[in-house]
Amino acid sequence: MSTALPIHTPSGMTDRLTVLTLPPQLRAHISWLEQSFTATDYPDPARQNAARSELADRVEGLATVLAQASSAVRDDQAVVLRGLPAKSTAMVVAVASAIGPVVPSRPDRPLIDDLKPNPAADEQTRTGDLRVALTPHTDNSSVPAPPEVLLLAFVHNGTPDSGGESTLTHIDDVAEALDATDVELLQEPRYPSLNVPTDTGLAPTLTSVLARSADGRLTVRYRDAALDAGIASDLAPETPSAAHVNALHRFTATVREPARQTRVRLDTGDMLIIDNARFLHGRTEIEANAVRHLKRLYTRLNP
Instruction: Convert the pLDDT of each residue in 39-90 to its tens digit.
Output: 999 999 999 999 999 999 999 999 999 999 999 999 999 999 999 999 999 9
pLDDT at 2: 39
Tens-digit pLDDT profile for residues 86-104: 999 999 999 999 999 999 9
Instruction: Measure the CA–CA gap between 165 and 180, rounded to whole angstroms.
Output: 32
Q: Which amino acid is at 73?
A: V
Q: Which stretch of 11-20, 32-41, 289-298 has the lowest confidence by average pLDDT?
A: 11-20
Give the domains, in start order, of the chain with CATH numbers: 7-163+265-299 (3.60.130.10), 178-255 (no CATH)
Mean pLDDT over all residues of the chain?
A: 90
Instruction: Measure the CA–CA gap between 110 and 26, rounded to whole angstroms.
Output: 26
Preceding omega of 204 cis (within 30 degrees of 0): no
Q: Is pLDDT above 90 for 117?
A: no
More confident residue, 90 or 1: 90
pLDDT at 283: 93
Q: What is the largest CA-CA distance in the chain?
A: 59
pLDDT at 196: 76
pLDDT at 224: 95
DSSP letters, the chain, are ------EE-TT-GGGGEEEEE--GGGGGGHHHHHHHS-TTTTT-HHHHHHHHHHHHHHSTTHHHHHHHHHHHHHTT-EEEEES--TT-HHHHHHHHTTTS-EE-SSTTS-SSEEE---TT--TTS-GGG--S-EEEE-TTTTSSS--SEEEEEEEEE--TTSB--EEEEEHHHHHTTS-HHHHHHHTSS-EEE--TTTTTTSPPEEE-SEEE-TTS-EEE---HHHHHHHHH-TT-SS---HHHHHHHHHHHHHHT-GGG-EEE---TT-EEEEETTTEEEEEPPBPTT--EEEEEEEEPPP-
Q: Which stretch of 2-16, 135-149, 159-173, 198-212 has the lowest confidence by average pLDDT?
A: 2-16
Instruction: Measure the CA–CA gap between 253 and 136, rounded to whole angstroms.
Output: 11
Instruction: Measure the CA–CA gap between 105 and 33, rounded to whole angstroms.
Output: 25
Tens-digit pLDDT profile for residues 128-182: 557 788 999 999 998 889 999 999 999 998 888 888 899 999 999 999 999 999 9
Tens-digit pLDDT profile for residues 236-263: 999 999 999 999 999 999 999 998 999 9
Give the pLDDT band (50/70/90) at residue 210.
very high
